[in-house]
């Protein structure tokens, strides 16, 4: 038997002046004031997006993610909450881990963010894979992402 589920936008707490470009899946999440959500974005239940954030097209923000204010999430950014600790995906939310993104964080297109904390004032380069917490402001790139030296 086939069951088609249509989500669209459901049970979302919106701040003022939020712009959403369809199609997208937003459900049981919170979106702050003056945010922009591009097309083909999925934001899952329990996610909190701060004010004045831009989430560009084709990004996936899974459960247990919190994003601060004045952040930018580029095209195709993927957040991960399941580390496959048992060798495969876990359907048990108790196995999933949270991700915390600070304020004024910019994440470049096609970056992958594993369950980590990222402090305020960080730039993540396009295609980077963030595997460990980031505690110092700065620019990070690579796989795994590392802080770039100042010039």
2 domain-assigned: no
4 domain-assigned: no
90 domain-assigned: no
Query: What is the reported pLDDT for 50?
Result: 98
Query: What is the reported pLDDT for 91?
Result: 86
88 domain-assigned: no
> Which domain, by its residues, includes 44?
9-82+96-147
- CA 108 from centre of chain: 11
Query: What is the reported pLDDT for 36?
Result: 98
Query: What is the reported pLDDT for 6?
Result: 61
91 domain-assigned: no
Is pTM beyond 0.85 here?
yes
32 domain-assigned: yes
1 domain-assigned: no
Write out the DSSP string of 99-129.
Answer: EEE-SS-EE-TT-EE-S-EE-SSEEE-TT-E
Q: What CATH number does residue 58 fall under?
A: 2.160.10.10
State how many domains the chain has: 1
Per-residue pLDDT 10s for the chain (151 aa) are: 555 556 699 999 999 999 999 999 999 999 999 999 999 999 999 999 999 999 999 999 999 999 999 999 999 999 999 988 888 898 888 999 999 999 999 999 999 999 999 999 999 999 999 999 999 999 999 999 999 977 6
């Amino acid at each position: 038997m086939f069951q088609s589920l249509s989500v669209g936008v459901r049970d979302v707490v919106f701040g003022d002046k939020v712009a959403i470009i369809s199609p997208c899946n937003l459900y049981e999440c919170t979106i702050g004031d003056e945010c922009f959500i591009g097309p083909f974005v999925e934001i899952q239940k329990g996610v909190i997006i701060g004010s004045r954030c831009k989430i560009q097209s084709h990004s996936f923000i899974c459960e247990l993610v919190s994003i601060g204010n004045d952040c930018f999430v580029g095209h195709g950014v993927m957040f991960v909450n399941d580390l496959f600790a048992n060798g495969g995906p876990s359907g048990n939310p108790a196995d999933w881990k949270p991700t915390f993104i600070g304020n004024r964080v910019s994440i470049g297109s096609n970056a992958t963010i594993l369950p980590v904390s990222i402090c305020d004032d960080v730039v993540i380069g396009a295609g980077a894979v963030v595997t460990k917490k980031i505690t110092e402001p700065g620019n990070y790139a690579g796989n795994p992402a590392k802080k770039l030296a100042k010039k």
